[in-house]
Structure 1
Amino acid sequence: MCNQLVLRQIEELRQQLNELYKLHSVITPELVELSEQLDLLLNKLAYSTIDCN
């Protein structure tokens, strides 16, 4: 899978995470863990050499 597609999916998940927080205004341990996992994936992709071309 190319980086751009994965990055788009991660950004969509982060947006969902932000929307859930806005609705509930509570940071649960699960939300923190999800946020950390998404950040790690974004960092890994930033240094990945996988490309669509």
Structure 2
Amino acid sequence: MVDIAKGMDCKVVKNRFEYFARQRNFALSQCSYEWIVCLDSDERITPALKKEI
């Protein structure tokens, strides 16, 4: 997946996993956009939300 992301000119950052909250907070600190969408693995973006985004 890293190769795919780099091939799409995405920023790839690695961090040692300690626990979920710390990992999420680290990831959020790396973001530079005003809006961030966070999904759990059992969540999906509905067609209506996709259209709104």
TM-score normalised by structure 1 residue count = 0.30
TM-score after normalising by structure 2:
0.30
Between structure 1 and structure 2, the one with the greater Rg is 2
Q: Identify the structure with bigger relative contact order (alpha carbons < 8 Å, sequence gap 6+).
A: 1
Bigger helix fraction: 1
